[in-house]
């Protein structure tokens, strides 16, 4: 092709057709420029396609991570509801005189009252997006705001996790001092025989310190449940948007 164009150039010069040669030269330059632009456009299109494919995979991973977190959250929501329900029932018996209470039921209620949720959501993919600077390139502004909201909410959840663990640990320490953990474990089948000491955990219901510790633990559990419910709503929104959009340019 190049030899063909050069031959035309030589023929025009030999025939002294300068005007036609100039027009031809300009046309040739235009064709070269157009060819370069087309090549650049194709190259840019290929680069964009590669980037979009990579980011699509990243988006799918983000969606998968939040789905896993949501599934685990729903398990712990059930656990914390059991904790709150058991604590409220124990408090309803606290301080009552001359009331017959089944000790096995009390042991079961204490088991749930001292059991804490252990939700630890994964953040590997989200941290990768943030650390690589891709968070600022999200196409969907609503999703970007939701991810910022998630960061703030998770920090709040961690604080209430710490508070609940502290208050529940105090409840366990009191149980160790005044009651029988073996009987609680016996309910959960971790100990087949139960304690041989003449102790009944129902006696704890006459202890004001136990009542105070239980109430403090219950308060933290209720506050954490509120934040779990907020997380449930937020995670569902993030999943819904990431399902239907390519979120990163």
pLDDT in tens, 152-191: 999 999 999 999 999 999 999 999 999 888 888 876 665 5
pLDDT of amino acid 242: 86
Tally Cβ neighbours within 10 Å of residue 26.
Answer: 10
Does residue 217 register a pLDDT over 90?
yes
Q: What is the average pLDDT across 192-206?
A: 80
**CB within 8 A of 124, min separation 6: which ones?**
65
Prediction pTM value: 0.78
- pLDDT, mean over the chain: 83
Does residue 24 register a pLDDT over 80?
no
Q: What is the average pLDDT across 47-65?
A: 79
For the chain, the three-class secondary structure string (H helix, E strand, C coil) is CHHHHHHHHHHHHHCCCHHHHHHHHHHHHHHHHHHHHHHHHHHHHHHHHHHHHHHHHHHHHHHHHHHHHHHHHHHHHHHHHHHHHHHHHHHHHCCCCCCCCCHHHHHHHHHHHCCCCCCCCCCHHHHHHHHCCCHHHECCHHHHHHHHHHHHHHHHHHHHHHHHHHHHHHHHHHHHHHCCHHHHHHHCCCCCCCCCCCCCHHHHHHCHHHHHHHHHHHHHHHHHHHHHHHHHHHHHHHHHHHHHCCCEC
Place of tokens 């030999």: 14
CA-CA distance, 187 to 168, in Å (whole number)?
19
Place of tokens 């009331």: 99
Q: Is 102 exposed, middle or buried (0-12, 13-18, 19+ CB in 10 A)?
A: exposed
């Amino acid at each position: 092709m190049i030899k063909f164009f050069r031959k035309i150039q030589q023929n025009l010069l030999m025939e002294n057709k300068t005007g036609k040669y100039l027009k031809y030269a300009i046309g040739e330059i235009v064709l070269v420029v157009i060819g370069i632009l087309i090549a650049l456009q194709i190259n840019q299109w290929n680069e964009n396609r590669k980037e979009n494919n990579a980011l699509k995979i990243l988006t799918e991973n983000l969606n998968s991570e939040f789905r896993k977190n949501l599934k685990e959250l729903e398990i712990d929501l059930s656990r914390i509801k059991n904790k709150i329900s058991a604590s409220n029932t124990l408090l309803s018996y606290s301080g009552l005189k001359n009331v017959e209470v089944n000790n096995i039921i009390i042991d079961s209620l204490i088991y749930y009252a001292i059991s804490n949720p252990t939700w630890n959501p994964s953040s590997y993919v989200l941290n990768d997006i943030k650390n690589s600077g891709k968070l600022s390139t999200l196409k969907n502004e609503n999703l970007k705001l939701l991810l910022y909201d998630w960061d703030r909410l998770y920090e709040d959840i961690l604080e209430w996790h710490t508070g609940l663990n502290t208050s529940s640990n105090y409840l366990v320490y009191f149980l160790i001092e005044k009651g029988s953990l073996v009987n609680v474990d016996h309910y959960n089948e971790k100990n087949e025989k139960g304690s041989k000491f003449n102790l009944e955990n129902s006696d704890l219901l006459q202890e004001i310190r136990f009542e105070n510790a239980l109430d403090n633990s219950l308060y933290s559990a209720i506050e954490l449940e509120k934040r779990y419910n907020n997380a449930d709503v937020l995670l569902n929104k993030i999943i819904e948007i990431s399902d239907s959009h390519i979120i990163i340019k």
